[in-house]
Structure formats: C-alpha cells, structure tokens
Structure 1
Amino acid sequence: MKYIVGARGSQLSIAQTNWVISELKKVNPDCEYEIKSITTKGDTDSRPLFTINQKGIFEKEVDRAVSQKEVDFAVHSLKDVPSELDESLIIASIPKREAVNDVFISSDGSSLENIKKGAVIGTSSLRRAVQVSRIRPDVTVKPIRGNIETRIKKASGENFDAIVLAQAGISRLGVDVDFSPLSIDIFSPSPGQGAIAIVARANDEDTISMLKKN
C-alpha cells in the first residue's frame, strides 16, 4: 500500500514529515510513503506573523488536499491546527511530543536574563514578544521571518542580538547551536508546541487505523 503525505514545503515541516514516515515504517513495513509538498498562505506572505490573521495560514491548503483526496493524510505542527477542522477531516494521531519549551539563542552566549540593555531580540510570535518584554522591558523586540537556520544566522549581532525559538524545531532539524532553555514556569509555550498532528479524512477508516499504530 502506498500513501501520499501532504506537508508544507518548509525545512522543518519536511523534517517532521520524514520523522513521522520513519516511525510509521516501523509498524507498517509493507507500506510506502511519498511526500507531496504544498505551499501555504503562511509560506508566501512575508509580513510579520503577528500582523496576519493566523487561523489556518500554515495548514488550510494542505488539509484541502487531504479533503479533496489529493493526498491521503497530512502532517502538521499541532499548534498550527485550528481548534475546529472541516467536518470531513479528523486528527487521526498525535505522536510522542518533543520538548515544549522555547529557547533563547544569542550572538554572545547571553541568556534572556543577562543580555545587554537595549539588545534587539527577534521573534515571529506575538506571544514570545510580549513575554520577552515582560521579563526584559529594557530590550527591543522586532519581528523576524525565515526558516529556523536563517533566523539563527540573523542572530549574529548585526541585525539581531538574539532570537527566541521553539526547542522542538531545533531538535527535529538536528541544528547544532548553543541555546538557553526558557523555563515554562516563566515563559509559557504555545498550546500544542512540540507536538505533531496527523490529519486524515474522517471516513478513511483504513488510513486512520494505520496511523493509530504510530
């Protein structure tokens, strides 16, 4: 049996999808999986994320492909999935969750607590921007876009002194970078952060059964 898997074309999304496929192959060795990369609104809109209505911007086109039977199921970051899916779809599986916390990456190894006054901190998330400003009101928070490795390179001290990212993304990509973990007690993560959601058609019992083995 061959399955077509829908995913965003981002580096992290493809890495997550490959991980899911590797796990599925362990329990479904006779199955084949092919990734179909799908561009979403969130991939083409270059505005700061917190200026956009984010509901579904990273998953709508991918889930439409599932619903229209262009792909058999889709792999998403759970935090990107709206609380209400189209009635034709279902979250069939949520594999083992990665670390849920955010991390702080700086050009000089500083932590959020001791980075210099007036430092420029980059983040794509309004939640993170607010929390950084609450903990360190004496720094400047600016929006930053790009894939994870691009954002890390920007934290060189030229345009940004530091950035805030999810630890799960760094782990899944296998990026070798020094970071300071941010405690979830003082820096609350996004709901669903670190988790993957696999979406399938609600009436596709065979695919759902296969996914639930993961």
Structure 2
Amino acid sequence: MKFIRVGTRGSRLALAQTGIAIAALKKANPGAKFEIVTISTKGDVDRRPLFTMDEKGIFEKEVNEAVKKGEVDFAVHSLKDVPSDMAEELVVACIPRRARPNDVLVNDKGQKLAELPAGAVVGTSSLRRAVQLARARPDLKVKPIRGNVETRVKKVIAGEYDAIVLAEAGLGRIGMKDVIVERFGVRDFVPAPGQGAIAIVCRRDDKKTMTLLRRIEDPKSRAEISAERALIEKVEGGCRFPLGAVAVTRGGKLTLYASVFSADGSKNIKVAKTGSVAGAEKLGGRVADILLKQGAGELAEGWREAVEEWNKKA
C-alpha cells in the first residue's frame, strides 16, 4: 500500500500534533499508512522574537509549499500559525477537535500571577500576552522570550525568568501540563485567534485526500475557527497588533469574544456577540465591524513605536 506523506515542522510540539492527527486518521481510515516528512521553516531558523518579524506564515510557508508541489500529501500545523491568505491551490481541509484555547502561567515556585513579587520577570513571545500581563500586573517586568515550548520552560527552571505565559494546548500535547500553575479564563485573558486548534492543509484539487481528512473534522471547532479567522481577516491584526479572540459553541449558538488594546494598555475595546453556528463567518465579520467602529484601527497605529521598544529588549 502507498504511504500517505505528511508534512510537518520537526519540533517536539509539531511532531506531537502530527501524531495526534495521524492516530485519529488511522482510527477513521483503517488500513491507511502514513509517512512523516519533517521540513524546516524560517521560524525554526530565525531566532528573533516573533513580533519583530513583519511577515506572515513563518512557521508554515515551507511546509505548505511542499504540499503545493506534491512533495507531501497534506500538512499539519498549529492553526494560529496559518495565515488566512494561503495560496489559492491550498485549503484547510480539516480542523480536528480543538484543545482548550486558554493561556496559562508557568513557574517552578507554584506562584499564581497575583502572587508573583513586584519586579518579577515574566517571559512571553506574544505582544497580546504582554499587554494583558502589564494591565493585570503593571509592577512586573515583561520580557520577550523565544525557543520551543520545552526550551522556554527550561529557562524558567534555570532562573532566567520568574514565570512565563504559554498556551495550555501546547503543554498538554507534549505531556508537560504538570508545570502549569494557573489557567487564565478566556474572557479575562483573551487568547490568540485559533489557539488550541490544529489545521490540516491539503491541495484543493486533491479530493481523495480531502475526503480522508474530513472524516476527523470537528464541526464545532470549525465553526469557532471560522468566526475567529473572519474577525482577524477583517481587522487585519497580524503579529504586530495584539488582537485576542475566542469563539465558544453552546448548543446551536456561537459566542465570539474579542479584545484589542492600546500600546500602553490603558485602552481596551471588548466586544462579545452571539450568533448561530451556521453563521460563524458572518458573526466574525460583525464583531470586526464593531471593533473598527469603536476605534480598533486607531489603537493599531500606536503599536509601531511599542514594537520598536520591544525590539530593543529582545
């Protein structure tokens, strides 16, 4: 039997996510055989903090290029790494069941955010997390951090940082949930759009692969992601503008929570709207319109100087 080739980054988390996807696919498609092909991306090679790179898709471009060229049959990504403007030839064919989208606090002293001493150094790779930390605890020192999940955790244990903020889903997928001290609520500490979800990308014209992948699609997760991505596409947040958004399905209803901040953290525009699961994209567009009407675009302009300041700290 011909092996189905799966493209992925070579990080521990990427391989774990690929393993999760393949296990589900084997269960849904008995007899199918898979071969993992690891591909290095710009994000793996360039060690600068993410917010300093003014481009999209640094963790997926090379992998998706391999899909486009037919070197692999499909690719597995963290969905939040996949830009909404992918190549026309490609499609997010499947979104399996999403893990918790929450951000979490990690340290080796068991201290929650409120318990960290004044002046404690907290690391994050995300401007969205940085500004929310600064709003909650302006007395902390928030510093950029890079490296894969396990590297960041090691930096806390080594004393380089007093704590870090990461996505709960990533820690869970590599078996490191025991380092979590505190889980932040998604309404109080709004995650990145798409956080916790896996995206499986294939060629749009590869109907056979698409059929195979869609057997593990989770409709609720698809609806949540559709709303979040429609929102971010309209607002055009990108890495340099901290836009938090999370959609939650309950029954046939979908509620989308969104939050944007000024560079100094003094201003915060929050929107929460509920719509039907079937109208997920429409809901995302509606929330984006409200954010823009309330001044989200003006807040975005103030972030250029803030990014330059963060570049100096990195």
**Greater relative contact order structure (CA < 8 Å, 6+ sep):** 1
Q: Which amino acid aligns with 2:173?
A: R
Q: Give me the whole-angstrom Cα distance separating, in 2, the residues matched to 1:53 and 1:11.
A: 25
- Shifted more, 173-182 versus 33-42: the winner is 173-182
Q: Which amino acid aligns with 1:163?
A: I
Q: Give me the whole-angstrom Cα distance separating, in 2, the residues matched to 1:75 and 1:179.
A: 29
Show the counterpart of 2:206: 204
Q: Which amino acid aligns with 2:99?
A: E
Q: CA deviation at 1:147?
A: 1.5
| TM-score under structure 2 length normalisation | 0.67
Q: What are structure 1's unaligned runs of at least 5 residues? A: none
Show the counterpart of 2:190: 188
Q: What SS does the corresponding residue of 1:184 show, helix, strand or coil?
A: coil
Q: CA deviation at 1:155?
A: 1.0
8 Å contact from structure 2 (residues 5, 37) kept in 1: yes
| TM-score under structure 1 length normalisation | 0.97
Q: Which amino acid aligns with 1:25?
A: K
Q: Give me the whole-angstrom Cα distance separating, in 2, the residues matched to 1:143 and 1:114.
A: 21
8 Å contact from structure 2 (residues 202, 209) kept in 1: yes
- Alignment of structure 1 residues 126-137 onto 2, 5 Å: 126-137=127-138
Measured against aligned partners, the alpha-carbon deviations of 1:54-80 in whole angstroms (never above 9, x if no partner) come to: 411000000000000000000001100
Q: What are structure 2's unaligned runs of at least 5 residues? A: 217-314
Q: CA deviation at 1:156?
A: 2.6
- Alignment of structure 1 residues 1-214 onto 2, 5 Å: 1-156=2-157, 158-175=159-176, 176-214=178-216
Count of residues in correspondence between the two structures = 214
Q: CA deviation at 1:178?
A: 3.6
Q: CA deviation at 1:157?
A: 6.3
Moved >4 Å (runs of 4+): none
- Shifted more, 49-58 versus 62-71: the winner is 49-58
RMSD: 1.0
Q: CA deviation at 1:179?
A: 2.1
**Larger radius of gyration between Structure 1 and Structure 2:** 2
Q: Give me the whole-angstrom Cα distance separating, in 2, the residues matched to 1:100 and 1:158.
A: 27
Q: What SS does the corresponding residue of 1:99 show, helix, strand or coil?
A: coil
8 Å contact from structure 2 (residues 91, 202) kept in 1: yes
8 Å contact from structure 1 (residues 72, 207) kept in 2: yes
8 Å contact from structure 2 (residues 104, 180) kept in 1: no
8 Å contact from structure 1 (residues 89, 200) kept in 2: yes
Q: CA deviation at 1:177?
A: 2.0
8 Å contact from structure 1 (residues 75, 198) kept in 2: yes
Query: How much identity, in percent, do the aligned residues show?
Result: 56
Q: What SS does the corresponding residue of 2:96 show, helix, strand or coil?
A: coil
Measured against aligned partners, the alpha-carbon deviations of 1:154-195 in whole angstroms (never above 9, x if no partner) come to: 113621000000000011111132421011111100000000
Q: Give me the whole-angstrom Cα distance separating, in 2, the residues matched to 1:55 and 1:208.
A: 25
Q: Give me the whole-angstrom Cα distance separating, in 1, the residues matched to 2:48 and 2:66.
A: 25
8 Å contact from structure 1 (residues 107, 157) kept in 2: no
Q: Which amino acid aligns with 2:112?
A: S
> Which structure is higher in helix share?
2
Q: Give me the whole-angstrom Cα distance separating, in 1, the residues matched to 2:47 and 2:21.
A: 28
Q: Which amino acid aligns with 1:181?
A: R
Q: CA deviation at 1:107?
A: 2.8
- Shifted more, 51-60 versus 190-199: the winner is 51-60
8 Å contact from structure 2 (residues 6, 37) kept in 1: yes
